[in-house]
Amino acid sequence: MSESFTVGTRGSALATTQTAWAANQLAELSGLRADTVLVRTEGDVVTGSLATLGGTGVFAAALRQHLLDAGCDLAVHSLKDLPTVQPQGLALAAIPVREDVRDALCARDGLSLAQLPDGAKIGTGSPRRAAQLLAHRKDLQIVDIRGNVPTRLGRVKGVGETLDDGSVGRTVQGDLDAVILAAAGLHRLGMERHITEYLDPAIMLPAPGQGALAVEVRSTGSGAPELDAALERFDDTATRWQVAAERALLNTLEAGCAAPIGALAHFEGEQLVLEAVACRPDGTQIMRQSHAAPVSDEAGALDVGRALAHRMLENGAAVIAGLA
Ligand SMILES: NCc1[nH]cc(CCC(=O)O)c1CC(=O)O
């Protein structure tokens, strides 16, 4: 590699959009040309429920193999889809500034969560989102849905009909009152007009790593000093430490990205504050706790995540969340 580098991406609209963004940023920072390489992954093909997939990196595995095989120089992932154990031979070279971390309600007729009628049908394939919604409003009817962001959005009454930009590929007759999606994905896709409420993390804690991207490289480096330097500048330390705490919590709980676990870290001065929730999937039991400590390196952030996880385990989090 000399004048250019290649970036592997999954084929979904969200993946190609966020990969193009990261590739352009890295091209600008390095002065090199970026080319993207499309890689078909298992997660794009499987159509079963997310809850039954096990959630151990189905989205990332093929892309990672392609990177290991030197089919590309870099791979861009949604961090929340990556298993918490880093595979041999690969490193997360850059975690850029995080997008909006919140989950978003996309409801018919501009409705907010409080305005949804009794028994409204809400689509989500995420046990974490389902449990926290039910804990807040037990009357809601959760419908297990899957598919990429535009497909899920198209299930909302009155929305599918308006997605005429080709992203759904066909006109959809909406059958749900609302769906819950990550605000970050909707923002990146330019679909924020469908958000009717940003869910307060006090009600809905996001998935560990939500809203963050990870640029992965072979552990031997990218092969170009300009690109290695660009990756270092693209990395955001605050984001890296926040997601380190969230993912250490998930790892210590021995849970995956499909577990009913939410976590969100933020800085208050030097203090890294981590909030986490472990839910019974039906929302009838919710354990929500927080832990804060001053943090000045990544090891300190990992400690915050582990400490909170250990306390939650002592209090029965594994049983509540069905991890035991
Ligand atoms: N599991 C799919 C996935 N992976 C990342 C995002 C959104 C973007 C992000 O959280 O960074 C989504 C869609 C969603 O949850 O709505």
Q: Which two tokens stand for residue 229?
A: 């330097």
Range 190-213 burial, b when 16+ CB lie within 10 A, else e: ebeebbbbebebeebbbbbbbbbb
Could you tell me the residue range of the domain that residue 27 belongs to? 4-97+211-235
Ligand 1 atom with least separation from CA of 184? 8
| Confidence tier at 296 by pLDDT (50, 70, 90) | very high
How many domains does the chain divide into? Answer: 3
The pLDDT of 27-52, averaged and rounded, is: 75
128 belongs to the catalytic site: yes
Supply the Cα-derived Rg of the chain in whole angstroms.
19
Task: Tell me the longest C-alpha to C-alpha distance in the chain.
Answer: 61
Q: Residue by residue, what is the 3-state secondary structure of the chain? A: CCCEEEEEECCCHHHHHHHHHHHHHHHHHHCCEEEEEECCCHHHHCCCCHHHCCCCCCCCHHHHHHHHCCCCCEEEEEHHHCCCCCCCCEEEEECCCCCCCCEEEEEHHHCCCCCCCCCCEEECCCHHHHHHHHHHCCCCEEECCCCCHHHHHCCECCCHHHCCCCCCCCCCCCCECEEEEEHHHHHHCCCHHHCCEECCCCCCCCCCCCCCEEEEEECCCCCCHHHHHHHHHHCCHHHHHHHHHHHHHHHHCCCCCCCCEEEEEEEECCEEEEEEEEECCCCCCEEEEEEEEECCCHHHHHHHHHHHHHHHHHCCHHHHCCCC
Between the CA of 186 and the centroid of ligand 1 the distance, in Å, is: 9
Residue 55's pLDDT is 46
Residue 41's pLDDT is 65
121 belongs to the catalytic site: no
More confident residue, 70 or 167: 70
| Confidence tier at 173 by pLDDT (50, 70, 90) | confident
- At 60, which CATH number? 3.40.190.10
Residue 52's pLDDT is 44
Do 180 and 215 belong together in one domain? no
Q: Which range is least confidently modeled, 28-32, 50-54, 181-185, 288-292? A: 50-54
Between the CA of 255 and the centroid of ligand 1 the distance, in Å, is: 18
Q: Which amino acid is at 181?
A: L
Do 127 and 194 belong together in one domain? yes
Percent above pLDDT 90 for the chain: 85
**CB distance 74 to 8 below 8 Å:** yes
Do 194 and 114 belong together in one domain? yes
**Ligand 1 mutation pick, 149, 205, 215, max ligand atoms within 8 A of CB:** 149
Residue 54's pLDDT is 41
Residue 258's pLDDT is 84
Do 68 and 88 belong together in one domain? yes
Residue 265's pLDDT is 98
Do 147 and 25 belong together in one domain? no
Between the CA of 196 and the centroid of ligand 1 the distance, in Å, is: 18
**Ligand 1 mutation pick, 78, 204, 247, max ligand atoms within 8 A of CB:** 78
Residue 58's pLDDT is 73
Domain for residue 68, yes or no?
A: yes
Do 125 and 171 belong together in one domain? yes
Domain for residue 283, yes or no?
A: yes
Mean pLDDT for all residues in the chain? 92
| Confidence tier at 43 by pLDDT (50, 70, 90) | low
137 belongs to the catalytic site: no
Q: What is the side-by-side strand order in the sheet with 197-198?
A: 141-143, 121-123, 178-182, 103-107, 197-198
Task: State pLDDT tens for residues 68-97.
Answer: 999 999 999 999 999 999 999 999 999 999
Do 111 and 93 belong together in one domain? no
Residue 50's pLDDT is 45
Please classify residue 111 by burial: count the beta carbons closer than 10 Å to its beta carbon, then call 0-12 exposed, 13-18 middle and 19+ buried: middle
Do 15 and 43 belong together in one domain? yes
Task: State pLDDT tens for residues 251-270.
Answer: 999 988 789 999 999 999 99
Between the CA of 17 and the centroid of ligand 1 the distance, in Å, is: 13
The pLDDT of 132-137, averaged and rounded, is: 98
Residue 66's pLDDT is 95
Residue 56's pLDDT is 53
Do 83 and 33 belong together in one domain? yes
Domain for residue 17, yes or no?
A: yes
155 belongs to the catalytic site: no
> Distance between CA 190 and CA 317 in Å, rounded?
37
Between the CA of 270 and the centroid of ligand 1 the distance, in Å, is: 29
Domain for residue 34, yes or no?
A: yes
Domain for residue 203, yes or no?
A: no
Do 216 and 91 belong together in one domain? yes
Residue with CA closest to ligand 1 atom 2: 81
**CB distance 1 to 73 below 8 Å:** yes
Domain for residue 146, yes or no?
A: yes
Domain for residue 205, yes or no?
A: no
Residue with CA closest to ligand 1 atom 6: 185
Do 93 and 216 belong together in one domain? yes
- At 278, which CATH number? 3.30.160.40
Using the structure block, give the residue that is written with the tokens 């419908």: 143
**Ligand 1 mutation pick, 9, 14, 151, max ligand atoms within 8 A of CB:** 14
Do 271 and 218 belong together in one domain? no
pTM: 0.93
More confident residue, 289 or 162: 289
The pLDDT of 216-224, averaged and rounded, is: 94
Domain for residue 28, yes or no?
A: yes
Residue 13, pLDDT > 80, answer yes
